[in-house]
Amino acid sequence: MIQKPKGTADILPGQVEIWQYIESTAREILHNYRFFEIRTPMFESFELFSRGVGETTDVITKEMYDFYDKGDRHIALKPEGTAPIARAFVENKLYAPEEVKPYKVYYMGPMFRYERPQSGRQRQFNQLGVEVFGGENAATDVETIALAIDILQALGVSNYKLVINSLGSEESRQTYRQALIDYLEPYYDQLSEDSQTRLHQNPLRVLDSKDPKDIEIVEGAPSILDALSEDSKERFQLVQELLTRLKIPFEIDANMVRGLDYYQETIFEIMTDAKDFGAQSTIVGGGNYDGLVNELSDGKQSVPGFGFAIGIERLILLMQAQGVDLPESHPLDVYVVNFGEEASKYATQITQRVRHAGFSCDRDFFDRKAKKQFKEADKLGADLVITIGDQEITDNQIQVKNMSSGKQESFSFEDLTADFSKIYEKMK
Ligand code: HAM
């Protein structure tokens, strides 16, 4: 039997409702913040990610789903949304003077990373992300962080914490990078294997190693916050001040770095401290990427960027762990119980008319016993049940029953199929 690939999931009816609820709740908030949806291809050139996300990141070195297509192009399924959207921003000249500024977009959809699957970590997973181009200052950082929090709150999620840090500008990061290497080198032999590899390739990643020995060594490392330029310090101060004004609690973690190389200045993560949530506790990750558009436009455009992505699978795990209530979805207005060949034909007509009048409607197809059909109507939560058999056809008196009040009335076939909303009103 063929099974789905490792690290993927089928989202079945009964489960998909929570996805739709998240999507519609988020869309409403996003539109209030004046973000508009963007959709980019599922696959891109591999080079977009190696240049955009960073040659030495795990995402590029270990986790890409890449292949050569029949035209020998090096293609990759997208592991994340920011680089593709920055590419679309440059390619479609969305920086042009006549475009809205800042340019604010959101996206929802699958991303692909060849990771070791576990709860909250898949090879095909979904993100709800936003990107702001041309926002320029700390107010954009804070507004966007506040948006992430508004979405979580609207979904009823609690028990999360916001953690922020600043990576400073490209230049100050280079200086800090060297200071960090100088500090870590004497400990080389004691570092974990991963951190040894990262030491010269991507030393900042050593800071957020989960290895206990690495953590101990890192404790004495110089802080990135001390290496910030005056401008970056000011910006980070302002971010903190604005968060405080909005009464958004936060923690600063100077060792937090993100797994993708395009970040500068303000970065943030929202994680849960809910117990039993396992290792995959980061629900939202994001930050500032002022150099990305420059990189992808070959130095021709310099537009700052800020964004985040929420991992939807992790969000759902959290919502379920916290027992968040979902509104009832897709209620059934009408069920048509029918007996016999002739009644089945009438049922086809009635069902279609009811649907065309704007009500959700279903029917029995299997000529089941009355009890079974009513049981089914009950299971589906039908408001009204229409019953039709040979007798009803002969008398032209078709029965309609309100399932919760028990109220019953009969109508002619003509009345039932003329304007069902009148009947629905009468029977409610
Ligand atoms: P990221 O931190 O790599 O950032 O991913 C964001 C979120 O996606 C994570 O916090 C997590 O919830 C979810 N996620 C990542 N990998 C997996 C996985 N294998 N399985 C399940 N969930 C996963 C980005 O992707 C950036 N593009 C975010 C961003 C947008 N930064 C600026 N703009």
pLDDT tens digits, 127-174: 999 999 999 889 999 999 999 999 999 999 988 999 999 999 988 888
Mean pLDDT, to the nearest integer, of 211-226? 93
Q: Give the ligand 1 atom nearest the CA of 315.
A: 12
Annotated binding site for L-histidine: 80-82, 113, 127, 131, 258, 262-263
Q: Are residues 365 and 403 in the same domain?
A: yes
Q: Which residue has the tokens 């991992």?
A: 311
Residues 269 and 353 in one domain: no
pLDDT on residue 154 = 96
Asked, for residue 202, whether it belongs to a domain, the answer is no
For residue 260, the ligand 1 atom closest to its alpha carbon is 3
Output the pLDDT for position 279: 62
pLDDT at 256: 93
* Host domain of residue 265: 16-169+229-321
What tokens appear for 17 in the block? 């409702």
| Angle made by CA atoms 254, 167, 232, in degrees to the nearest 5 | 105
Contact 235, 266 (CB under 8 A): yes
Has residue 184 been placed in a domain?
Answer: no
Domain identity same for 296 and 339: no
Task: Say whether pLDDT at 193 is over 80.
Answer: yes
Check which CATH number belongs to the domain holding 359 and give it: 3.40.50.800
Ligand 1 pocket test, candidate residues 11, 49, 64, 127, most atoms within 8 A of CB: 127
Token pair of 14, please? 């009964």
Do 356 and 259 reside in the same domain of the chain? no
Ligand 1 geometric centre to CA of 219 (Å): 26
Residue 304 lies in a domain: yes
Domain count, the chain: 2
- Based on the number of CB atoms within 10 Å of its own CB, is 91 exposed (0-12), middle (13-18) or buried (19 or more)? exposed
* Residue 210 domain-assigned (yes or no): no
Contacts of 218 (CB under 8 A, 6+ apart): 206, 207, 209, 255
CB 286 within 8 A of CB 78: no
pLDDT digits (tens, 9 = 90+) for 36-88: 999 999 999 999 999 999 988 899 999 999 999 999 999 999 999 999 999 99
Decide which of 292, 321, 350 is a domain's last residue: 321
Pocket test for ligand 1, best of 44, 306, 314 (most atoms within 8 A of CB): 314
Query: 376 CA to middle of ligand 1, Å?
Result: 42
pLDDT of residue 277: 66
Looking from the CA of residue 289, the nearest atom of ligand 1 is 32
Tens-place pLDDT, residues 306-337: 999 999 999 999 999 888 888 777 789 999 99
Indicate if 281 and 355 belong to the same structural domain.
no
Name residue, tokens 């390739």.
201
My answer on whether 64 and 152 are in the same domain is: yes
Q: Cα separations (Å) of 15 from 9, 318, 327, 380? A: 11, 14, 13, 16
* Domain-embedded: residue 212: no
Let me know if 192 is exposed, middle or buried by CB neighbors in 10 A (0-12, 13-18, 19+): middle
Q: For residue 174, what pLDDT is reported?
A: 87
Residue whose Cα lies nearest atom 11 of ligand 1: it is: 311
Q: Name the average pLDDT for the chain.
A: 95
**One domain for residues 247 and 385:** no
- pLDDT tens, residue by residue, 78-121: 999 999 999 999 999 999 999 999 999 999 999 999 999 999 99
In a domain, 381, yes or no: yes
Ligand 1 atom closest to Cα of 284?
A: 10
Let me know whether 113 and 33 are in one domain.
yes
What is the percentage of the chain residues whose pLDDT exceeds 90? 89
Cα angle 30, 144, 284 (rounded to 5 degrees) comes to 90
- d(C-alpha 228, C-alpha 234), whole Å: 9
Same domain, 315 and 368: no
* CA–centroid distance, residue 351 to ligand 1 (Å): 45
In a domain, 180, yes or no: no
Q: State which of 60, 63, 80 you would mutate to test the pocket of ligand 1, scoring each by most atoms of that ligand within 8 A of its C-beta.
A: 80
Task: Over range 242-265, report the average pLDDT.
Answer: 95
**pLDDT, tens only, 326-378:** 877 778 999 999 999 999 999 999 999 999 999 999 999 999 999 999 999 99
Write down the pLDDT at residue 421: 96
Of 299, 321, 343, the one marking the end of a domain is: 321
Instruction: Quote the crossing angle between the two packed helices 138-154 and 16-32, to the nearest 10°.
Output: 140
CATH of the domain at 243: 3.30.930.10
Residue range 21-29: mean pLDDT, rounded: 97
- For residues 241-258, give the mean pLDDT: 96
HSE, side-chain direction, 13 A CA sphere, residue 101: 11
Cis peptide before 102 (omega within 30 of 0): yes
Residues 55 and 156 in one domain: yes
Tokens standing for 385? 């049940």
Residues lining ligand 1, Cβ inside 6 A: 80-82, 113, 115, 120-122, 125, 127, 129, 131, 259-260, 282-287, 289, 307-309, 311, 313-314
Which segments of 30-167 are extended strands (E)?
A: 36-37, 43-45, 66-68, 74-77, 103-112, 124-133, 160-166
Beta-carbon-side half-sphere exposure of residue 173 (alpha carbons within 13 Å):
20
Q: Within this chain, do residues 151 and 244 fall inside the same structural domain, yes or no?
A: yes
Which residue lies with its CA nearest to atom 20 of ligand 1?
121
Residue 157, domain member (yes or no)? yes
**pTM attached to this predicted model:** 0.93
Same domain, yes or no, for 354 and 316?
no
Domain's final residue, options 294, 321, 348: 321
The string of pLDDT tens digits covering residues 257-283 is 998 999 999 999 999 977 666 667 899
